[in-house]
Structure 1
């Protein structure tokens, strides 16, 4: 069986930049991913905050291929591959696994509500059997506030029993610390990695033996998160966590995707980075002004991100 790189630390669902015609901006995407890697953050591309469910299968494949062709390390990637369609999920999962990614982050099929545990088990089993690759490592994506299809403890137990090498862990975006704590208690001892779905729970997750967090605002505030991951046993860990909480709160006052895109547009000197795909809409001017004012007060910095404008004006962008 191939040796697997253990995934831990901070991962971010990378924002997908769009051009004026709403097509993906490959160069800006590559730059942002390279900047995150340089900041110590892994790439959970095609997550919720990547607007993944507004991207086609072909677009997701193209974007992943662009990162690989730019020389970014596949082992530091955890692309989202879960779709409502079984065949789409299989195609994206096979493509990512063949590319050598560290793992895939997989939503349950979420259109039909109230589906049974048996139905969800069959879905994941079909994906694993059809991909049929010993390198496959699935991180389940539990986000009931959005998907409304939960990943239950019973389902995790069944999947681990049937496919212990393929089922690697979970991102818990329930927003319920009791649920995350229960997953850590029940499944972390058997090697099942638990990632919190927000940095708000990062310190508690690490103290409980978890792997880290996969968080939207890793796009804009990566360095302090990475610092806490590396120093969570230190005396000032609670102070670091409190600072993360304040910055997160500044973004959560607004629609999160639009707010983060407004921030990267400002810090990168490229207004086009604020573009979102319908049905989402960008921040209203007064909301953008309020957000940026609060980030100035908090002294949020994105060191090196200002090079985006110059990099895209050149002939090549990639990982530096």
Structure 2
């Protein structure tokens, strides 16, 4: 069986902002290095948690460039490149490849709802064919509660049949345990990565490739420990304790204000106020909400 790619613990990184709502390069590069030092196998920047769809193409490209220039290995970066326009998805993906970043997370075109698998297959095919680069590895992105455009198992099968060396994985942020298991069983050699932190541990014995999660901004070391030691009986108590901390962090941040809560906790941990900003229409927590979240 082909080795799963990608595999491991990846952080769906939040993006600190300047006063004019542009990505703060200095804080972001430092955060990326911190996450890797804490045990992340890589960083999935410019995704949902990273507020990517609030940024221009130029801002997205610039953030990826400065991260690579700042000393983060391109092999450890997995940027989101899927947008509503096929031509812009191609542009962002080619840009990533030009920097040596070969694996991307790709939303389907998400503006039109109720589209068919034929339409989604055509969209992904157009991107892959027009890029025409054997280095490219695509992780398709299933987050129907946000995108409104689900990735069906039949679509995965078609993409895997046509592009087995390119479409290598899926990020499943549905929170549906049964959907994860069904994909793992149906598509051997296909990297299923959960987007829900608490599901990593129960899915590991079933063959999940790892995770790409928001809460890993706060508990990367615990998720990495669970991933690396879940099958070792001598670490059972430590794995259980790490899992409990992961679940606690997830529960206190999950919900409609998840990104604001995560950014607040990063700001409280680092003392860097740039983490408190969110790009409208997302809004920061109030001072009272920040204080309550931090327990102070």
Same fold at TM > 0.5: yes
Tell me if structure 2 keeps the 8 A contact 1:5–1:102.
no
Q: How far, CA to CA, are the matches of 1:217 and 1:149 in structure 2?
A: 24
Structure 1: gaps of 5 or more residues: 297-320
Q: Does 1:140 align with 2:140?
A: yes
TM (normalized to structure 2)?
Answer: 0.94
Unaligned 5+ runs, structure 2: none
Would the aligned equivalents of 2:22 and 2:59 in 1 still touch at CA under 8 Å?
no
Report whether the alignment pairs 1:28 with 2:27: yes
Aligned equivalents of 2:272, 2:191: Cα separation in 1: 37
Between the aligned partners of 2:26 and 2:175, the Cα distance in structure 1 is 33
Deviation at 1:254? 6.2
Distance 2:275 2:81 in 1: 24
Query: Equivalent residue of 1:49, what SS?
Result: coil
1:98 to partner: Cα distance: 2.5
Q: Do 1:195 and 1:205's aligned partners in 2 also have CA atoms closer than 8 Å?
A: no
1:66 aligns with 2:59: no
Q: Which residue of 2 is the match for residue 216 of structure 1?
A: 214
1:1-320 to 2 correspondences below 5 Å: 6-41=5-40, 42-187=42-187, 189=188, 191-235=189-233, 236=236, 237-252=239-254, 255-293=257-295
Give the match's secondary structure for 1:140. strand
User: Which runs of at least 4 in structure 1 moved beyond 6 Å after TM superposition?
Assistant: none
Q: How big is the shift at 1:133? A: 0.3
Question: 2:142 touches 2:173 (CA, 8 Å); kept in 1?
Answer: yes
Taking the aligned partners of 1:253 and 1:22, their CA distance within structure 2 comes to 23
* Pairwise CA distance, 1:272: 2.6
> 1:170·1:194 contact (CA, 8 Å) conserved in 2?
yes
**Residue pair 1:47, 1:79 contacting (<8 A) in 2 also:** yes
Asked whether the 8 Å contact 2:78–2:103 carries over to 1, the reply is yes
Deviations 1:62-106 (A, max 9, x none): 010101111210001110000000001000111112322241000
Q: Structure 2: how far apart are the matches of 1:101 and 1:205?
A: 28
Distance 1:253 1:126, change over 3 A: closer
Q: Name the CA distance, whole Å, in 2 between partners of 1:265 and 1:140.
A: 31
Alpha-carbon deviation of 1:5?
Answer: 9.5
What displacement does 1:241 show? 2.3
The offset of 1:107, in angstroms, is 0.4
Measured after TM superposition, the shift of residue 7 of structure 1 is: 2.3
Matched residues in 2 for 1:120 and 1:258: separation? 32
Secondary structure of the 2:226 match is helix
Partners of 1:173 and 1:252 in 2: how far apart? Answer: 13
The whole-number CA distance in structure 2 between the counterparts of 1:283 and 1:254 is 11
Helix, strand or coil for the counterpart of 1:48? coil
1:217–1:248 contact (8 Å) kept in structure 2: yes
